[in-house]
Amino acid sequence: MALKRFRSLEARDNWVGYALLTPAILIFIMITGFPVLFSITMSFFRWRPTENTNPFVGFNNYLRVFANPTFLLSLRNTFLYAFGGAFFKVLLGLGLALLLNQKFKGRGIARTLLMLPWIVPITASLTSWNWMFDGMYGIFNIILMRLGIITESINFLGQKGVALMCVMTVGIWLGYPQIMVMILAGLQAITVEQYEAAKLEGATPTQVFFRITLPSLSGVMKTAIILSVIWTFNAFNVIWLLTRGGPSNSTHVMNTLAYELAFVNMKYDQGAAMSVSILIMLAVFLFIYTKMQKENEAQ
């Protein structure tokens, strides 16, 4: 009898929780779910603002997007930007986390300064970077010319290849603080006894790093890598605000190409097809991330 009463109270509490969550869920569906479903639907129709009818075209929009010469370039740039950026973010985040995990004078100030890319509004950051990369008055050109490395100004954001490296640099600078914080939290979870035992056995700092620190951070590192790939894969603002696709579309990624197709060229149907393609790829990364999280919990 008591067990039955306990279950009824638990069920009542659950229903109260569901009732309180319902408005938030409905708002989430309206803000996120409806646009996604609408984009998926739009991708199978011809949808132009200058036309009154929207005939069903099946996968024709996808075929047109894939046949676009800029698509393969944007796909290559997306993977290069996502995986290359993730690699350097994790590498930089790991190095700085190891530094901040040590005790030294001014560590609090160093932590604050290293968090600035995350704290400063992204519009202010990108405005500063745009000025530094300026082909006439940018600080990078001034420094290189005074050092005698170059004799004439370089248009960093206007040259193929160079522009992509510049936006990747900005993306890494903006993204490393999140990775650094994750790895720093993982480092602080490693017990001091492990390091003390290694020192007693005469282990070198290199051996300690590869046999204790790195294995202990394996779960955090995997999570950091996949999250960094997802965050960077979904990037838009850095590339669009700095280059708008760059010279000869050389810095276009899939997100910026989708935006250009939909809102610059007014091809909403092809922009939707591109967006759905991005959604599918992100779903694959999310599946990998979820699987890794389950494996970490099982360990």
**pLDDT tens by residue, 103-157:** 888 888 998 899 989 888 888 899 999 999 988 888 999 999 989 888 888 889 9
At 78, the amino acid letter reads T
CA distances from 92 to 89, 169, 269 (A): 5, 12, 40
pTM for the full predicted model: 0.84
Phi/psi-derived region of residue 266, left when phi > 0, alpha when psi is between -120 and 50, beta in every other case: left
**pLDDT tens by residue, 41-61:** 999 999 888 888 889 999 999
Q: State residue 69's pLDDT score.
A: 87
Helix 122-132, helix 139-146: angle, nearest 10: 30
Q: Is the pLDDT of residue 74 over 80?
A: yes
